[in-house]
Amino acid sequence: MKVAVTLLLCGLAFIAASPTITPFKHFKEHFGKRYATTSEERYRESVFQQNQQFIADHNDKFVNGEVTYTLAMNQFGDMTTEEINSAMNGYLGSSSSSSSSSRRVIQQQMADTDLPDKVDWRPKGAVTSVKDQKQCGSCWAFSTTGSLEGQHFLSTGKLVSLSEQNLVDCSGNYGELGCLGGFMDNAFKYIEENGGIDTEDSYPYEAMNDKCRYNPDNSGATVSGFVDVKRNDESELKKAVANVGPISVAIDASRPTFHFYHDGIYYDPSCSSVMLDHGVLAVGYGTDNNNGGGDFWLVKNSWNSTWGNSGYINMSRNKDNNCGIASQASYPTV
């Protein structure tokens, strides 16, 4: 049984049905991979095999009860850890935080109240479908639109998908670098002073820096300000997620365990709470004691639904701010 479970978790169950199709060939076909030269393809196959072994070794630990989450092959299978971090993680971190803190940003420490044990804003209608930033360091833009989409919905009752490309193209004067990175608070400030942000339909995503084409006639939401949740405090983040809605958060997503996360509650002791490189969206929290997991944050990523648990990850909660999820949390006001 353990062997069968491990094969399934590694995404290798197709081997039994198609013994002539190698795992790498299946990977290429499934994700539409093409390589310019034979040497490039050989190199990518070797990277794939290393990642495949890493996933298998980790899932053996899960079967043995040593870890609380599983890994699976995904679209990053032919990329090194360094390549994934360079292409996918674009949160600029504390260097941008210091510049935005001089603007009209406030620290809000909410009053203690009885909070629900579980929160999930998705069935309440406050969360759009999982998006795909592709190989562009625009995670900050997706985190920004995610929290604003939630606040706009809770204010108006209408869920409107907002344009990340608008932010990528137009917020350079606010310290944002498009596909080279950015910071959610700066994006909130841009939307506030710009008078709005266009809808996704009117200004679709391109995964590249382009000319600014904001059109106020196509604006889907506005911002009146933004709030920084008390730093490094998971209890304050819990209050914000419960009382406010989906919250923009920054995390350390540099570990290969994160890159190939599949299911369960993610905890990596080597994950930093200070060196943050990826913007995501906290849309809920809860507790799952299966496999020793415990408390978790429900987090929406922007790496397509082929990543993680249909685009989501359960990140450990109340474990010393693992991966820095409470280090730089914020949300817009509308």
Counting Cβ atoms within 10 Å, is residue 218 exposed (0-12), middle (13-18) or buried (19+)?
middle
Query: What is d(CA 11, CA 295) in angstroms, rounded to the nearest whole number?
Result: 27
- N-terminal to C-terminal alpha carbon distance within the chain: 53
64 is catalytic: no
152 is catalytic: no
Asked if 27 and 78 count as a contact pair (C-beta separation under 8 A), the reply is yes
Among 186, 301, 314, 321, the one annotated catalytic: 301
Residue 205 DSSP code: -
Query: What is d(CA 184, CA 176) in angstroms, rounded to the nearest whole number?
Result: 9
The two structure tokens encoding residue 29: 């076909």
| Amino acid at the residue 131 | K
271 is catalytic: no
Query: What is d(CA 232, CA 242) in angstroms, rounded to the nearest whole number?
Result: 17
Asked if 264 and 291 count as a contact pair (C-beta separation under 8 A), the reply is yes
Counting Cβ atoms within 10 Å, is residue 141 exposed (0-12), middle (13-18) or buried (19+)?
buried
Residue 3 DSSP code: H
Among 10, 139, 170, 179, the one annotated catalytic: 139
Asked if 209 and 298 count as a contact pair (C-beta separation under 8 A), the reply is no
Among 136, 170, 278, 321, the one annotated catalytic: 278
Catalytic residue numbers, as ranges: 139, 278, 301
